[in-house]
Amino acid sequence: MITDFMTGEHRHCDQLFALAESAANDDHLDGARSAYAEFEAALLGHLDMEEQVLFPAFEARTGMNGGPTAVMRMEHEQMRAVLGQMQRALAGGSMDDFLGLAETLNVLIQQHNMKEEHMLYPMTDRALAGEAGAIIERMRAL
Task: List, for residues 51-81, the tens digit of each pLDDT value.
Answer: 999 999 999 999 988 889 999 999 999 999 9
Provide the Cα torsion 38, 83, 10, 3; round to 10°: -130
**Averaged over 86-103, what is the pLDDT?**
97
Nearest to 34 by CA among 81, 87, 101: 87
Name the residue ranges covered by the structural domains of the chain: 2-140
> Using N-to-C axis directions, what is the helix angle for 95-115 and 68-91, rounded to 10°?
170
CA distance 41 to 34: 11
Per CATH, the number for 2-140 is: 1.20.120.520
What average pLDDT does this structure show over 90-96?
A: 96
Q: What is the pTM of this model?
A: 0.94
Half-sphere exposure of 64 (CA within 13 A, CB side): 14
Q: How far is CA 30 from the centre of its chain?
A: 23
Q: Is the pLDDT of residue 94 over 90?
A: yes
